Amino acid sequence: MPKINVTTASGKTKTITAHTGASMMDALSALGLVEGTCGGAASCGTCHVYFADKSIAGARTEDEGYMLEGLEEFVDIRAGSRLSCQIKITEAHDGINIEIAPDA
Ligand code: FES
């Protein structure tokens, strides 16, 4: 099971262990690290995370791209910005560093 290093919006760090195939948002919300208000429909932005290494972040879905564009006036959108609900955890995520974005 991949271990993911997470920095919270308040700057605390923790390492979580996640199940391969699960949604990253589900893994983070189970620990109270993101809200995931829309349940994974890419329509709320409350699961926004920053990947430290944008090459690991992967490509945004079309809906995700529109959602992040809409958030741009409220929060910092970076090259490594992703909606964690749109990411399935794989072994490639083992050891990565992500940061929880501030609330929009
Ligand atoms: S859970 Fe709403 S955008 Fe990801």
Cβ contact 98:7 at 8 Å = yes
For residue 25, the model assigns a pLDDT of 97
Asked whether 83 lines ligand 1 (CB < 6 A), one says: yes
Asked whether 2 lines ligand 1 (CB < 6 A), one says: no
Chain length of the chain: 104
Q: Write down the mean pLDDT value for the chain.
A: 95
Segment 17-54, tens digit of pLDDT? 999 999 999 999 999 999 999 999 999 999 999 999 98
Hey, what amino acid is at 27?
A: A
For residue 92, the model assigns a pLDDT of 95
Segment 54-97, tens digit of pLDDT? 888 899 999 999 999 999 999 999 999 999 999 999 999 999 99
pLDDT of residue 103 exceeding 90 = no
**Residue-range domains of the chain with CATH:** 3-10+22-100 (3.10.20.30)
| C-alpha–C-alpha distance, residues 104 and 72, integer Å | 9
Asked whether 5 lines ligand 1 (CB < 6 A), one says: no
- The CA 23 to ligand 1 mean position distance, Å, reads 11
pLDDT of residue 104 exceeding 70 = no
